[in-house]
Structure 1
């Protein structure tokens, strides 16, 4: 059975790995010309996703690339005093198994896990999908697949082709975020420095294996403020939102016109009654994004990919049984992630001075308490912690080892792309 996966970010490569382990023939198509190395930001893997990564044999590589962030300094707008926080205690209280890693590093690790068993096509994208599995591409010749999976993110092309335009399923939570890369002139090593004001939060951090640093901006905004293709407008919005918060933030904003890596989007949730239609299904942010930067979408995508592959194997590739089973298995986790994202956004982007004070003092209190009380307090006050600690994945039978596969490129229309 031949399966086409659109997207080589996080969920796509994880899905490809497990599908090949179950004996399916997999092709991954990715619009970018090469594996993405655009800077990105730090993402979290919680217990279920770490367990799956361990089964894939890649957990040691992920642990090597952990950001190592274990301290946080919080500056409240209008005050000179800072609050120092022990992040390692908060992380341990939040989840019994957790790691923070740069998104691009994680994507590279997952892609490498099955690179010899999967056909990767870079620099191309899908333009049409017929009900019987005929697929047309921007560059490559048409091909037929038994199934197509959209793992192509929040602005999924496969979702648009199969279900309709994005506004039908995308709901803004009233906030936006931006990420930029800049020189680590502050020498941050294992420390996150954040500035919090009413309706806006900015933080700078480094990773022990990176020469540069990242800045993450979160702020309250009008719905659908993405301006997806207007980068100058995006930078103007950031400057306007964060002007005067703190001299450090002003210096970060000065790097906007010099940075080599910049990303901006509205924080939106994808809400669909179901995410399968005919021979097509969606996984990760394409089907059920809880909201980037606030909802644990990386772990959700890893779990979704693992469950989808296992349900297809369990039904011998019968998508009419596998797709509904996959959706049932993920439904509660998806709903919980949406609720957790809304709760996290309220905390991370406080809408009052009292909320700003509560964020700083709450973090200080949790880090100051002994491990037992701090863990109990955090689990009582955060939906994210309860969600990720309670999520259990079925213990599917271990798959056999796959046969070796091939790697393809969009500019190689010969035997590779035409094979199978």
Structure 2
């Protein structure tokens, strides 16, 4: 089949890899003008995540580019270390910057996948034989299937299923992240400072040559233009006004960052992930929220399962049904792990802040610390992966497709 995928971050290229192996022809359309670099760290943990990475042949490269992060320290306003969270709790078995992972997947697929940057889907018109796709730029094209792997605010989901307000559950927090200097000299570690309802963190990246600044704050749901970076930065400045430690400097540095990211912490909850010849994958289908620590691994597993079901069924209706059946319980388990985390990560009151800091101080000496990491791995591995036959069928291989921008 000729399959269009919307989104060139992680889920989309991972799906393209497996579809290419099955003999399908793949095109990825991406709103951004090029691959998005930067972003926060993402991790993989447990047998299911690592098995998919091994099957793709990229686990070694991810390990080579991993962050090698150590402990994350809680500090007071003067920067004094109060307690440490061990890396095993938040970095999984292997951790990598999202932008570095996206580049690995792009290099893995670019010879057999057509990449169309600086464009997006404007309309979908499905009939019995396929889908006519209207793009924001350039002529319409026909595809057998369309898959939305375009994130929390999926355009494909909106076109095929309805307004995003019907599917998104806001969890009470906003997050911002950007790259800045490692001016604190952090050595494969991070520092985090909490005030009631807010957190500022700075952690080293790229072998300590730079750092990632992260801001978290609780708020009623905000209304703003998601493509207006300046307005998002103003909202962050307003929310973090008066916060101490390194917040004032980092907010100044924010204005110079070219990879600023800002969004709500939310989950996507849907009764089905397909509608006719249109399917959803990754955060577009089931975003568990960054608080779960499962989103990227879940997307990679989902890509393998969707391609596997398409290869096994040879019929999109049967394949989509099999995909849903294989992933549904796993997705719900991973989503549950992200619920309620915000109250512990960003305490709402001074008492809760004090209480959590006391717990962090005791954590290295408590037996349940290892249990928490093992529980996260158990959640990440709560699926039995089928051994799909995703080898290319007999016949000529798909013609390598050029990468480039839409005219």
Name the TM-score, length of structure 1 as normaliser: 0.88
Any idea what SS the aligned residue of 1:365 has? helix
Give the Å deviation of 1:386.
4.3
Closer, same or farther in 2 for the Cα pair 1:66/1:186, shift >3 Å? same
* Partner of residue 335, structure 2: 338
Determine the C-alpha separation between the residues in 2 that align with 1:65 and 1:246.
Answer: 33
* Partner of residue 392, structure 1: 383
Give the Å deviation of 1:101.
0.9
* Partner of residue 53, structure 2: 53
- Map residues 137-152 of structure 1 onto 2, 5 A cutoff: 137-152=135-150
Closer, same or farther in 2 for the Cα pair 1:377/1:279, shift >3 Å? closer
Give the Å deviation of 1:409.
4.7
Give me the CA root mean square deviation: 2.3
Closer, same or farther in 2 for the Cα pair 1:358/1:65, shift >3 Å? farther
Give the Å deviation of 1:378.
5.2
* Partner of residue 251, structure 1: 249
* Partner of residue 354, structure 1: 351
Any idea what SS the aligned residue of 2:341 has? helix
* Partner of residue 121, structure 2: 126
Contact kept in structure 2, 1:199 and 1:220, CA below 8 Å: yes
Determine the C-alpha separation between the residues in 1 that align with 2:132 and 2:9.
Answer: 24
Unaligned runs of 5+ in 2: none
Any idea what SS the aligned residue of 1:63 has? helix
* Partner of residue 306, structure 1: 304
- Map residues 125-274 of structure 1 onto 2, 5 A cutoff: 125-132=120-127, 133-209=131-207, 211-225=209-223, 227-274=225-272
Unaligned runs of 5+ in 1: 414-420
Name the TM-score, length of structure 2 as normaliser: 0.91
Determine the C-alpha separation between the residues in 2 that align with 1:227 and 1:358.
Answer: 37
Give the Å deviation of 1:232.
2.9
Contact kept in structure 2, 1:76 and 1:356, CA below 8 Å: no
* Partner of residue 321, structure 1: 318
Give the Å deviation of 1:377.
5.4
Contact kept in structure 2, 1:225 and 1:266, CA below 8 Å: no
Determine the C-alpha separation between the residues in 1 that align with 2:49 and 2:87.
Answer: 19
Quick one: which of 76, 80, 102 aligns to 1:107? Answer: 102
Any idea what SS the aligned residue of 2:254 has? coil
Any idea what SS the aligned residue of 1:406 has? coil
- Map residues 64-83 of structure 1 onto 2, 5 A cutoff: 64-76=64-76, 81-83=80-82
Any idea what SS the aligned residue of 1:308 has? helix
Give the Å deviation of 1:224.
4.0
- For residues 201-247 of structure 1, the C-alpha deviation after alignment (integer angstroms, 9 at most, x for no partner) is 11101114463211111111112455413333322222232233323
- For residues 82-125 of structure 1, the C-alpha deviation after alignment (integer angstroms, 9 at most, x for no partner) is 22426245469xx6xx2211110011111211221212222221
329-338 or 173-182: which moved more?
329-338
- For residues 334-372 of structure 1, the C-alpha deviation after alignment (integer angstroms, 9 at most, x for no partner) is 212222112322221112233323433333333345xx7
Residue 282 in structure 1 maps to residue 273 in structure 2: no
Determine the C-alpha separation between the residues in 1 that align with 2:224 and 2:291.
Answer: 14
Closer, same or farther in 2 for the Cα pair 1:124/1:393, shift >3 Å? farther
Give the Å deviation of 1:404.
5.0
Closer, same or farther in 2 for the Cα pair 1:295/1:373, shift >3 Å? closer
289-298 or 213-222: which moved more?
289-298
51-60 or 394-403: which moved more?
394-403
Residue-pair matches, total: 400
Determine the C-alpha separation between the residues in 1 that align with 2:79 and 2:32.
Answer: 44
Give the Å deviation of 1:184.
1.5
Give the Å deviation of 1:392.
2.2
Contact kept in structure 2, 1:76 and 1:197, CA below 8 Å: no
